[in-house]
A and B are shown apart, each in its own frame.
Chain A
Amino acid sequence: MFKDLNPILHSQLRLAVISILISVKEAEFTYLREKTDATAGNLSVQINKLKEAGYIDVSKSFKDNYPQTICRIPPQGFRALED
């Protein structure tokens, strides 16, 4: 029998973000927004929650003078998902 999901993943948006990040190595914030159809504000809040819970890593940089946020699941994030 499958274990219940961690309460942090009880949000549809957070679970959607994690599902996308499992499929790819890393993704930009804009890509996650496009795929989840979420608003930038809401997505930003949920990404922060996932980051605080240790599920994802977030790195910020600049690309062509625009801020770029890249999200990925670190090894410990995968371990947390397996638990």
Chain B
Amino acid sequence: MEQENEFSGQESLALITKMINKARRDYLDTGLSALLWGSVITFCSLVTFANHYLDWPALEYVWWLTVAAIIPQIVIVIREGKDRKYRAYEDDLIGGIWISFGIAIFLLAYIVSVYHVAEPAPLFLVLYGIPTFATGYARRFRPMLIGGVACWVLAIVSHYTPYPYTMLSLTVAAQLAWFIPGLIIRKCYLKAKAQHVQRS
């Protein structure tokens, strides 16, 4: 793109559209965060479900894994920030939504344990849906939009489902909201990265 000559209005418009689309096609994150949380919640909920039948006291603490997962999450955020060559307008907004979600989820876990809520899964599912849907909406990323809606549908389903089957609702929600969208984002990211390596 070395031309300095004047060009027509139509050519200008075509160039503007092309460049805006080029910038939009880029994937901002690596998909690792979604994969991490999709895996952790799937693992914890499945272990809790299995433990209903196994009854191993040690497995009751499996949800502490969500606290431990904060460490790799911080590493992912720092690494993604270092590799990032641009910032989108919605970055701060989405970041703020996920931070507030993280705080809200731990507060909810605390409140649920203090008040001994019998079946907290619907509450967690309602909360899972909010940042997932918001991210899908802001990034126009349909898998996360569907994942967010799925969390809310599963919140209703789990309200009418007895324990331990509510844990399976959490598993499905984690897969639909994070793990599967994470896989799609990861695939697109790796594809874009490979194309970039080929060009350079």
A residues in contact (CB < 8 Å) with B: 2, 4-5, 9-13, 15-16, 19-20, 22-28, 30-31, 34-39, 42, 63-64
Contacts and interface: CB of A to CB of B under 8 A. Distances in A.
B1 A27 contact: no
A63 B2 CA distance: 28
Contacts of B23: 19-20, 23-24, 27, 35
Interface of B: 1-4, 6-7, 9, 12, 15-16, 18-20, 22-24, 82, 85-89, 91, 196, 199-200
B4 A23 contact: no
5 contacts: A4-B9, A13-B2, A15-B15, A23-B19, A25-B91
B26 to A, nearest CB: 9
10 nearest CB pairs, A to B? A19-B19, A31-B85, A27-B86, A23-B23, A19-B16, A28-B85, A25-B87, A24-B86, A12-B3, A23-B20
Nearest to A39: B2
Contact of A26 (B1, B22, B86): B86
A22 B20 contact: yes
Contacts of A10: 6-7
A31 B1 contact: no
B85 A30 contact: yes
Contacts of B12: 5, 9, 15
A19 B1 CA distance: 14
Contact of A15 (B16, B82, B199): B16
A24 B89 contact: yes
